[in-house]
Structure 1
Amino acid sequence: MELQQLVTDVHEILAANGDYTNLSDAAVYQPSIQVDRKNVYFILHEANGKQVAKSLVVYEDRAQVADFDARESVQDANKTLVVGDLNETNWHALVKRFAWVKPTSRHGYKYTFGLGDRLGNASNAHLRLFKGRGIMPVLAQQSIRELLLTNRTETDVVLDAGWAVFEEGYTDGWAADGDHVKNPHEVDYAVKAGCSMITLDCTEKIHNEIADLSDDELDAKFNALDVDLVKYFNETYLDKDFQISDQASVHFSKKDVEQSVLIFFGAVEYAEFIYHKFVVPYNLDFEISMDETIVPTTPANHYFFANELHRKGITPETLAPKFYGEFQKAIDYIGDIDRFEREYVVHEAIAEHFGYKLSIHSGSDKLSVYEIIGRLSKEHGWHVKTAGTNWLEALRVIAHVDPKLMVELYKFSYDNLDDVKAFYVFNAQTDGTAPKPETINTDNVMTLLSDDDARQVLHTMYGSILNLQKSYRYVYRDRFFKILKDHQALYDKYLNAHIAEHLDLLQGLAKTKAEVQAKYEPTIQ
């Protein structure tokens, strides 16, 4: 792009007085245009084959513009126009000028939704979908495991989301989640990268082995605790009933007390440590994951955890119990829907009583329970986390554009599924009901994205697919990303149709899974 043409574009923008519908230069991405007095900022889109090359254009007073890392520049009277890359230096310069470009607290937002963009190119589409929805998007949401498997850093994740926010002119607020951080150095990493919230994964402090003890073994282990602790826990909870709403109460039997203490009290103490070391000093939103257990969180477990936090003066922004049923990756809820609803009423009442919202982990594709969550959530609302959706919708693009490659990716995933069994709980085993690779061909490959078992195989293998190398070169990664970038519009369409299914049910715009599938799925065939 000629610099003088960009100067002309700037003057045209200034003369337009906020109405940019008739700008003469189609390369100026209109949603990104920001005017501050006589300073102008926007993203430039230049065609580069099937892909779009993006640059930042800034037009500012000469004394100010030095904040930006300029690739090219030109003087115009007392102003300087610079063209720069979408890099970290330029993002921080924009943050100084526009606070909404930076991730912020979820506090005050009733409904929040985690999007977990693993690949770094889904946030633009998501932001277009979320405009006007009244839901705060958590665009950046990656666990350490996901960062390692995708060869990205926490900074990469925040920057990719932050640039999308500026590009789409999304001023309603967004958050960045240091997801499933387990220890202080992981928390510190997320904080220093700019995350506005952390999700504390208490796996290492939750003692699942307690659930397997006999009553006598449980009683012996509990009574081996310090006598003052035993006295306190028994006096506070044993045989007590806690009325937490008109619809819900919690009773503590002897077993409830002992299991709650021995499984979860170490996690409560650890949450207190993280709270004072990081959450308070850095003004973070605090989510606690207590769902890393082998059995569902009982109402007594949940009440105990929340009450002990309350005693310590801690109210998390969100807390994630392990709900009844199975929340496996990339497929719908498995379990008794009626029982889920009955138990959700109690968990929601506990959350409301203590002043936080419930967080639904592994929320991707749980279409059968969203209407319940949306209908039953009260004053504090809900937080739903999704992640695998983006990856699978990217694979939908691959299947559509290069079905032969998709057949190859599925065969590789199916044959190497043992690589990820330690990381994920899922039903799709190589000796189970997942489609056999020999039954998949270029004519039926799209069916993989609607088959639960195939979806799980493909979902769990994203790291193996992206990182496979032969002779020091990636086997799939470069081909995969080139197709995705060449067909970004198709990817955007797939992404938003699928996430819209989630949001419509959560917001009460639809009542059933069948209803949203009938509405959106014809657009992704």
Structure 2
Amino acid sequence: MLTIGKYSFGVGDRFAHQAAAQLRAFQKLADDGVDVAPVWNKSNREHTFVGSRPQSVYDAAKAAVEKLGWAKPWHVDADHIQLATVEPFLPCSDFFTIDVADWIGKAAPASDIDTFVDRHSELVGSLELAGLSTPLQITGDDVRRVAEQYLLAVKEAAVIYQHIASVKGSGNLVAEVSMDETDSPQTPPELLIILAAMADEKIPLQTIAPKFTGRFNKGVDYVGDLAQFEREFNDDLAVIAHAVKQYGLPENLKLSVHSGSDKFSLYPIIRESLRRTGAGLHIKTAGTTWLEELIGLAEAGGDGLELAKEIYLYALDHVEELSAPYASVIDVDASKLLDLATVQQYSGSEFASSIRHIPANPMFNASMRQLLHVSFKVAAKTGSRYTDLLVANEEIVGKQVTENIYERHMRPLFLG
């Protein structure tokens, strides 16, 4: 079976120009003694917005791997796919993020729920699992409630997985199940019940992405109770380790954190938990690369800065339209967005400082960064003008991309 390494790191590349710059960060980390597998990801929604095809992600990644002589594993993720959207990803992906959020809360047939509850009496009681902060307290009513909430979603994941496996071959793919894009977080007891259902459906998932408590907004830091996240994360690791032994799930099954990027305050917690437990991790950072491109173009000045300003000013006039598809994962305060006159007067370094995620910098503007994070399709509308500028300013843009991934994400997460 194709297996993903202990540590893997998802990177997005909206315009398929930064794969080599991204890969350099993985090389730098490998030079530090930590091997992390790159996973290039791009969702069907993002392809639709920019007019690209899934094959472009594979092609860009393969070119980068060959250019830099990367001899370690790498993957291409069909990100947040469903049965209706998976087909174009099948020839060019080996990692499949199966998204079943739309089925959460829809009840499976009553007979299926009854069968599940009867089959899993071992879930009921005070469960003392190794590594838990406190025993899990699960009642029979809890098992039924969770089955009513999630069993149909798990069955849909099985349908999608079987379809992918029928085309790719079950030994030629890495399966992840994503439940993070939903309203309510899954608690550790709920995760255990869900994993029991996954095993019943014979889904050989290698990573699972639950929704954690707190806000995971795009492009900015975590908003929530750090102590609660630490308890949840550690308890989830304990639940996964138990489920692997109890239900025969793949031994390399690991937790996946769909971060929305830049959850800096969580990195020390995650790093210490991985050190203490020896667990693996998949973390998906996605869209920061597009912002680093804008930062690089701004720093380059001239036409690059002019276009960066144009994109922002267009976004400023279309805040609601651009934000709507991402309403659950951004918090843009319109009153804090820089106005047209201010931005027009900005130098390249000032514009870059406004959106480069260094919270200690007094110029950093979280609302401006989040708005631009979801405005990549504005750049796509410029056609080759945007991508031509990426090529013309490849060195300065690539430097921003590499430094962002390595210095702000990888080092704090894996090295400290």
Any idea what SS the aligned residue of 1:301 has? Answer: helix
What amino acid is the match of 2:156?
Y
Partner of 2:258: 361
Partner of 2:137: 251
Change in 2 beyond 3 A, CA 1:439/1:125: same
Partner of 1:322: 211
| Cα deviation 1:69-112 (Å, max 9, x = unaligned) | xxxxxxxxxxxxxxxxxxxxxxxxxxxxxxxxxxx9443x1100
Given that residues 216 and 329 in structure 2 are in contact (C-alpha distance below 8 angstroms), is that contact kept between their aligned partners in structure 1?
no
Deviation of residue 252 (structure 1)?
1.8
Any idea what SS the aligned residue of 1:112 has? Answer: strand
Given that residues 9 and 284 in structure 2 are in contact (C-alpha distance below 8 angstroms), is that contact kept between their aligned partners in structure 1?
yes
Which among 293, 297, 300 is matched to residue 394 of structure 1? 293
Given that residues 95 and 176 in structure 2 are in contact (C-alpha distance below 8 angstroms), is that contact kept between their aligned partners in structure 1?
yes
Deviation of residue 418 (structure 1)?
1.6
What amino acid is the match of 2:36?
I
Which among 451, 455, 478 is matched to residue 365 of structure 2? 451
C-alpha distance in 1 between matches for 2:340 and 2:125: 56
Is the aligned partner of 1:274 residue 2:163?
A: no
Is the aligned partner of 1:153 residue 2:53?
A: yes
| Cα deviation 1:22-56 (Å, max 9, x = unaligned) | xxxxxxxxxxxxxxxxxxxxxxxxxxxxxxxxxxx
What amino acid is the match of 1:115?
V
Given that residues 155 and 201 in structure 2 are in contact (C-alpha distance below 8 angstroms), is that contact kept between their aligned partners in structure 1?
no
CA RMSD of aligned residues (A): 2.3
Partner of 1:242: 127
Partner of 2:14: 118
Is the aligned partner of 1:498 residue 2:411?
A: no
Spell out the pairing of 1:364-513 with structure 2 (5 A cutoff). 364-377=261-274, 378-400=277-299, 401=301, 402-424=304-326, 425-429=328-332, 431-440=334-343, 441-443=345-347, 444-449=350-355, 450-467=364-381, 476-500=382-406, 501-507=408-414, 509-510=415-416
| Cα deviation 1:458-486 (Å, max 9, x = unaligned) | 0111113322xxxxxxxx33332222111
Change in 2 beyond 3 A, CA 1:497/1:244: same
C-alpha distance in 2 between matches for 1:231 and 1:320: 26
Is the aligned partner of 1:199 residue 2:103?
A: no
Query: Greater strand percent: which structure?
Result: 1
What amino acid is the match of 1:398?
L
Partner of 1:225: 110
What amino acid is the match of 2:316?
Y
Change in 2 beyond 3 A, CA 1:291/1:416: same
What amino acid is the match of 2:338?
P
Which among 349, 374, 377 is matched to residue 238 of structure 2? 349
Given that residues 110 and 379 in structure 1 are in contact (C-alpha distance below 8 angstroms), is that contact kept between their aligned partners in structure 2?
no
Query: Greater helix percent: which structure?
Result: 2
Change in 2 beyond 3 A, CA 1:342/1:428: closer
Deviation of residue 432 (structure 1)?
4.0
Any idea what SS the aligned residue of 1:322 has? Answer: coil
Change in 2 beyond 3 A, CA 1:327/1:428: closer
What amino acid is the match of 2:315?
S
Change in 2 beyond 3 A, CA 1:250/1:188: farther
Which among 220, 227, 232 is matched to residue 338 of structure 1? 227
Given that residues 213 and 229 in structure 2 are in contact (C-alpha distance below 8 angstroms), is that contact kept between their aligned partners in structure 1?
yes
Partner of 1:136: 37
C-alpha distance in 1 between matches for 2:211 and 2:335: 26
| Cα deviation 1:378-429 (Å, max 9, x = unaligned) | 3441001111111000000222224333222211112112223332124443
C-alpha distance in 2 between matches for 1:271 and 1:310: 12
Which among 136, 161, 167 is matched to residue 67 of structure 2? 167
C-alpha distance in 2 between matches for 1:271 and 1:170: 33
Given that residues 182 and 203 in structure 1 are in contact (C-alpha distance below 8 angstroms), is that contact kept between their aligned partners in structure 2?
no
Between the aligned residues of both structures, percent identity stands at: 29
C-alpha distance in 1 between matches for 2:322 and 2:139: 39
C-alpha distance in 2 between matches for 1:106 and 1:129: 22
C-alpha distance in 2 between matches for 1:121 and 1:499: 15
List gaps (5 residues or longer) in structure 1.
Answer: 1-103, 211-220, 468-475, 511-525
C-alpha distance in 2 between matches for 1:388 and 1:430: 20
Deviation of residue 316 (structure 1)?
0.7
Identify the structure with bigger relative contact order (alpha carbons < 8 Å, sequence gap 6+): 2
C-alpha distance in 2 between matches for 1:392 and 1:117: 10
Q: Which structure is larger by alpha-carbon Rg, 1 or 2?
A: 1
**How many residues get paired?**
380
| Cα deviation 1:295-326 (Å, max 9, x = unaligned) | 11111221111111123333311000001111
C-alpha distance in 1 between matches for 2:380 and 2:396: 21
TM-score by length of 1: 0.68
Any idea what SS the aligned residue of 2:334 has? Answer: coil
Change in 2 beyond 3 A, CA 1:234/1:436: farther
Partner of 1:179: 79
TM-score by length of 2: 0.85
| Cα deviation 1:435-474 (Å, max 9, x = unaligned) | 333432323323321321111000111113322xxxxxxx
C-alpha distance in 2 between matches for 1:235 and 1:123: 47
Change in 2 beyond 3 A, CA 1:239/1:129: closer
Change in 2 beyond 3 A, CA 1:395/1:277: same
List gaps (5 residues or longer) in structure 2.
Answer: 245-250, 356-363
